[in-house]
Amino acid sequence: MKIEIATFGAGCFWCIEAVIQRLKGVEKIASGYTGGIVPGIPTYREVCSGKTGHAEVVQVTFDADEISYHDLITVFMTSHDPTQLNKQGADRGTQYRSVIYYHTNNQKYIAENVFSEVKDYFSDSIVTELSVAKEFHIADKEHQDYYNENSDNGYCRVVIDPKLAKLRAMYSDILA
């Protein structure tokens, strides 16, 4: 087992959490916040205000012997719109930015390569931020495993279900 950590945001953390937790090799996933300019542990309300500088992210603990960082980032990049600056769908603000927080220089290098590999998949330029990992703050319990606990909720059915259908269509070979 080769355990690694990945941290990234793709708008609302509920969406990317639901996608990534279905991949082989994902040992643990937590929704939370990182990248802020305000010290201390932010609340959901503070992050949603857009004033703390934090992004909604997931922190993924994965077995690199089962899923490569390359495959993880490829799924991430094709599971949201990385050409949208500070927004995803109806969510607007810097807290919803597309961002990869790399933990090693090798992760940065791999992410840069994936950007080049997937750029033709999109009609606009990729604006995903690539930054060194910062302190991660886990979100409250009600934000963890959100889709699995609330799959009948309208947001889940309208926004997350199509992302999961796309995941099954594109990546069935690496689903758990």
Tokens of 70: 């390359």
Task: Give the pLDDT mean for 154-166.
Answer: 94
The pLDDT of residue 91 is 86
What confidence tier does 38 reach under pLDDT thresholds 50, 70, 90?
confident
Which residue matches tokens 């796309």?
A: 166
| Whole-prediction pTM | 0.94
Tokens of 4: 């690694």
On the question of pLDDT at 40 being above 90, the answer is no
Which residue matches tokens 């961002």?
A: 99
Name, in order, each residue with C-beta under 8 angstroms of 137's C-beta and a sequence gap of 6 or more. 32, 33, 34, 41, 42, 54
Task: Give the pLDDT mean for 75-102.
Answer: 93
Distance CA 77, CA 56 (A): 16
Q: Supply the angle between the helices 69-78 and 161-171 in degrees, to the nearest 10.
A: 130
Catalytic residue from among 12, 15, 48, 156? 12
Element (H, E) at 73: helix 69-78
Backbone phi, then psi, for 156, in 5-degree steps? -65, -45
| Lowest mean per-residue pLDDT among 9-18, 34-43, 71-80, 158-167 | 34-43
CA-to-CA dists, residue 69 to 34, 47, 107, 108, 114, angstroms: 20, 27, 7, 10, 10
> Would you list the domain boundaries of the chain?
3-174
Is the separation of the CB atoms in 157 and 146 below 8 Å? no
Task: Tally Cβ neighbours within 10 Å of residue 127.
Answer: 14
The pLDDT of residue 89 is 84
| 12: annotated active-site residue | yes
How much of the chain exceeds pLDDT 70, in percent? 100
Task: Give the pLDDT mean for 153-174.
Answer: 94
Architecture of domain 3-174: 2-Layer Sandwich (3.30)
